[in-house]
Chain A
């Protein structure tokens, strides 16, 4: 351990992050106390299995299996999405039952539903959630819109953080709208005039927003008090949380919740230079977001949900010009810091495989949905680990027999020699539990490397 962090190679950093993940601590910083020797062994085996699959140095003992749900744990426990968003203890219980019943090689924590009350306090505009635009049994869904206007590219490019705090934040949280009145901080450089900057804080609307902010902070704290112990308890039982944090592809950063899909797609023709510049401007922030989370949580996997670059959204040329260059930069930034980018390509990525192959070996984990896994293995098999892709229609209305059959064929096609993790294709809500059971059992049965 002689070398300083900055002196380590990307390889050594990745190894160090895996080692930190393998040596969990309790909140006091002591070695985590496992509930049984089997749990301790299981914890190590699960991470090692995932690590071997990702690094491509040797095959794991068997194909790791990661069922990655959206709101399924709520349905499985007979709860509505609204209940798990508003009753944090129920959320904890449902997600715990999910992990214990399906015995996965890792989980994604129970923060997915988030604190409903918190969104209410801040009057969140970006998403509809149960009771606020969707019914109690539905998951939250993004409300497409132009949360950044077409003429605001320069503001974002010149000062991304300033744009997020002074323009975007007051726009996506209704209760924080008065923050539009707050000054830009370079105004505090000198004593002369500095007090002018603080006048808005004395005004009733801003003070109201500050109160809402404090109330929201209190609610977030209450939520984390209820669900924050989840990963620790699951670890003591042998189940690691696989995620250190998340980041985004710069194109999606713009096209999901800044300009919206339509806004960004039009910009591609109307102001392509600004779009490219803006993606360059947010790229370092996207790297920092992922690396920061990996350092804080002491593990390597950074989730990157991919949206607007799937088959059918953009042409090959547009993908190569607008989507891939900055996504690759983000992934390389993560890789150089020792992280394992975990891009999740919902929809199809069949036309993108040759392009995304251009990454160093053993550093990424791609989750695929409607992508041909045999082809993905063929094209990416030498460089990246692939995860997927049991289809949600099959898990929803198929039979356990059909699922077993699919898993067997999938492992035959994509499991050869390691570098494969069994999972669902996309995050799932209300599927049949017996089908998920069948997926896990078939993984054990057909996934052994002997």
Chain B
């Protein structure tokens, strides 16, 4: 059953996946097994995205299916099974910029690659990053921005971390629209990622995950 569910999700067969998940719940399957299958399918979706066979429509539909299946299972299980996590990544689109498509892809890919991700959303002021760093204690911070005006906002965010004495506790990666290695230098971040896959590689490298 769970093999069929994994395939249905990974192959973007939404109706079939939902039907299978419902049948499994009704048939008394372990909710953890259903959610485990859904997560496994997300991993496949992530790999297909990396390979260049899946794109935005598939990532978005996969995210929706995962939520829908969690809804179906929810009455049976309060929270998803604990998976082993490589480390924590704090992510957000910097102040003044409200673009989220690229950031959401990075969050999705980090998540399916085994990171515990805290997404602060869009238009996040430097101070909010700093506070979240204190609470969440991430090893990696990802700053996203689409506009050229985000260059300064990223720099300000990195500066705020320095001021708070937290800069050396994390590795910072930046990405989005017009970001390049020149911008990385300008902002004082540790690295820039050309795409979501690069972001995952950086995070893995920094936390020492394989």
Contacts and interface: CB of A to CB of B under 8 A. Distances in A.
Tell me if chain B binds chain A: yes
B149 interface: yes
A280 interface: no
B129 interface: no
Interface stretch (B31-39, B95-103, B200-208): B95-103
A397 B186 contact: yes
A371 to B, nearest CB: 14
Contacts, number: 89
Contact of B178 (A313, A314, A315, A426): A426
Interface in A143-169: 143-144
Contacts of A138: 96-97, 147, 149
A391 B182 CA distance: 11
A133 B99 CA distance: 13
Given A128-B98, A313-B56, A391-B178, A396 B61 contact: no
Interface string B11-55: 010100000000000000000000000000000000000000111
B152 to A, nearest CB: 8
Interface stretch (A10-18, A92-100, A258-266): A258-266
B195 A393 contact: no
B179 interface: yes
Interface string B55-75: 111001100100000000000
Interface string B157-194: 00000000000000000000111101101100000000
B55 to A, nearest CB: 5
Interface secondary structure of B, over-half rule: loop
Contacts of A429: 147-149
Among B54, B98, B99, B179, max chain A CB count under 10 A is at B98
Interface in B101-157: 101, 123, 147-149, 151-152
A315 B98 CA distance: 25
Contact of A141 (B12, B99, B179, B185): B99
For chain A, the bracket of interface size reads 35 or more
B177 to A, nearest CB: 8
B57 A265 contact: yes
Nearest to B186: A397
Contacts of B149: 137-139, 429-430
Contact of B101 (A141, A261, A268, A269): A261
B147 A139 contact: yes
Given A270-B14, A318-B55, A393-B178, A141 B60 contact: no
Contact of B100 (A134, A144, A270): A144
A398 interface: yes
Contacts of A139: 147, 149
A191 B34 CA distance: 63
Nearest to B100: A144
Contact of B57 (A134, A135, A268, A393): A268
A315 B185 CA distance: 33
Interface in A365-416: 391-394, 396-398
Contacts of B148: 392-393, 396, 428-431
The listed residue with most B CB atoms (<10 A of its CB), out of A141, A314, A426, is A141
A374 B206 CA distance: 36
A28 B152 CA distance: 47
Nearest to A262: B60
A417 interface: no
A284 interface: no
A397 B184 CA distance: 10
Residue from B57, B177, B180 whose CB has the most chain A CB atoms within 10 Å: B57
Interface in A306-337: 308, 312-315, 318
A428 B147 CA distance: 9
A315 B61 contact: no
B57 A269 contact: yes
Given A394-B182, A429-B149, 19 more contacts: A134-B98, A138-B147, A143-B98, A144-B100, A261-B56, A261-B60, A265-B60, A266-B60, A266-B64, A269-B12, A315-B54, A391-B178, A392-B148, A393-B148, A393-B182, A396-B186, A429-B147, A429-B148, A430-B152
26 contacts: A128-B98, A134-B98, A135-B96, A139-B149, A265-B61, A266-B57, A268-B57, A269-B14, A269-B57, A312-B195, A313-B55, A313-B56, A315-B54, A318-B57, A347-B177, A391-B180, A396-B178, A397-B151, A397-B182, A397-B186, A425-B178, A426-B177, A428-B148, A429-B148, A430-B152, A431-B148
